[in-house]
Structure 1
Amino acid sequence: MSAIVHALEADASDWARHTASQLRQRSPLMLHVAFEQIRR
């Protein structure tokens, strides 16, 4: 999940910056849990 946030932060687009900002405001544990559920 951290790689996704870092990739978004490296992107200069408004969408990527907004999305990275939104992800940083969420619970890190829940982001990892949800991401793992999606991957399965």
Structure 2
Amino acid sequence: MFVEALNDGAKEFYRKPGFIELKSPNENSLFFPTLTPGHR
């Protein structure tokens, strides 16, 4: 799942549960790895 943080406070909010911050040029985007049900 990808999200876009609009400011530094939002980035910190998403980092706390484990979102991973992407690097430039997508530095406002964060990624949370998920698995498809039934996928191992």
After TM superposition, the score normalised by the length of structure 1 is: 0.34
More helix by share: 1
Structure having greater relative contact order (Cα 8 Å, sep ≥ 6): 2
Larger radius of gyration: 2
More strand by share: 2
